[in-house]
Amino acid sequence: MKIKLTFKDPDGVWESINQAARDSLDEVNGISKDERESLLEFRHEELSSALAKWIKYGEYCSVEFDTEAGTARVVEGAE
């Protein structure tokens, strides 16, 4: 049996993307606080765009579970 669940979590998506962007800046040295914040915003936007295939409106994500196959997959274009 296949079961599709759609999750809505705007804060979770935003915070997770923001943390990933912050983590990517850990190795960046020699820039000011303002430059770091600008780079953080840029990377956040890049990551959000990259995830747009699976995350709709920055907050919806659909997962399809197949109980017979014992699998789960993220569905493109969450509904």
Return the pLDDT at 77: 83
What's at 32, amino acid-wise? S
The pLDDT tens digits for 17-71 are: 999 999 999 888 999 989 999 999 999 999 999 999 999 999 999 999 999 999 9
Task: Give the CA distances from residue 9 to residues 15, 20, 21, 38, 75, in Å, rounded to whole numbers and listed in that order.
Answer: 10, 17, 18, 25, 16
pLDDT at site 27: 84
Q: Is the pLDDT confidence value at 78 over 90?
A: no
Range of the domain at 61: 2-75
47: left (phi over 0), alpha (psi -120 to 50) or beta: alpha
Residue 79 has pLDDT above 70, yes or no: no
Residue 62: what pLDDT?
95
